[in-house]
Amino acid sequence: MSASLLRRMLYLLAVAMPLAGSHATAAEKLKAVASFSILGDLVSQVGGERVEVKTLVGPNGDAHVYEPKPDDARSIAAADIIFVNGLGFEGWLGRLRDASGKANVITLSAGVTPNGIDPHAWQSVPNTRIYVRNIAQSLCALDAAGCPAYKANAEAYELQLQALDADIREMFAAIPQDRRIVITSHDAFGYFAREYGVTFLAPEGVSTDSEASAQDVARLIRQIREKKAVALFVESISDPRLIDQISRETGIKAGGALYSDALSDEQGPAATYIAMMRQNAILLVKAMQES
């Protein structure tokens, strides 16, 4: 056996064997899986130090059309608890979950008033407060010793969400109703629309799994002209070409990229849920004021 092979084997043994004395650190953390990046942030906010969070669909990923990787099945098999959005958002998750035999799957939208078939409930901050309470409750059920910490984290985070919600309302309050009309790639902002009084028009439906037809686009262009939309937005998860085409045909200017279904990477402007909601509101209001 060569020396380098021996070294590699020893290394593998060392990383595979739990070390005596390391018990109190990583080994004791609860293992949570979150289906996509926005939930991953919320679970981290509430779980804090006691929970290790693995996110399946990462930053800038499209959870509507995600194809699970072998690594995801391993993460789910190893998880103590799995957090999903529900409302039909993660169609791909069912098979993974069934294959793993996991029962501890928490649907975070439980308790939200559904907006038709639209799964994007987190686009309303009051709904996200419901998600946060669901996370705290389910972590408490799993780990009683950590419950005071989960509750304290959730309460502190909810205060930040309350402030965020108030800020967004204040930002839109100054915009006349007839200027609050914009276009996005897919219908991801129904809850935002209902909560904050903005009208969103989109060529694609509430999922990204089917492309907009030529008729959809023609209908949208008619709507844009009738309703006098003020700006167009691409989405971080979507192909910008269709929005570019609509921009050329209608002469309406592009207002930047909104974050609907995923956070940005850490260097981006939407690395957390709160940063994402703020960034979206800032871009929307700016476009409405400037148009």
Q: Which positions lie near Zn ion, rule CB under 5 A?
A: 188, 261
Question: Smallest distance from the beta carbon of 260 to Zn ion, in angstroms?
Answer: 5
**Which one, 191 or 196, has the nearer CB to Zn ion?**
191
**Which one, 118 or 143, has the nearer CB to Zn ion?**
118
Beta bridge partners of residue 199, listed in sequence order: 181
**Which one, 47 or 190, has the nearer CB to Zn ion?**
190
Bridge pairing between strands 231-235 and 181-183: parallel
Task: Please state, as a whole number, how many other Cβ atoms lie within 10 Å of the Cβ of residue 219.
Answer: 14
Question: Smallest distance from the beta carbon of 111 to Zn ion, in angstroms?
Answer: 21
Question: Smallest distance from the beta carbon of 181 to Zn ion, in angstroms?
Answer: 20
**Which one, 83 or 150, has the nearer CB to Zn ion?**
83
Cα-trace Rg, the chain: 22
Question: Smallest distance from the beta carbon of 261 to Zn ion, in angstroms?
Answer: 4
What six digits make up the tokens of 16? 């595979």
Question: Smallest distance from the beta carbon of 209 to Zn ion, in angstroms?
Answer: 10
Which stretches within the chain are classed as H helix? 3-16, 37-47, 70-78, 93-100, 125-142, 147-173, 190-196, 214-227, 241-250, 273-290
Distances (CA, A) of 54 to 33, 49, 68, 85, 222: 5, 14, 14, 15, 44
**Which one, 63 or 139, has the nearer CB to Zn ion?**
63
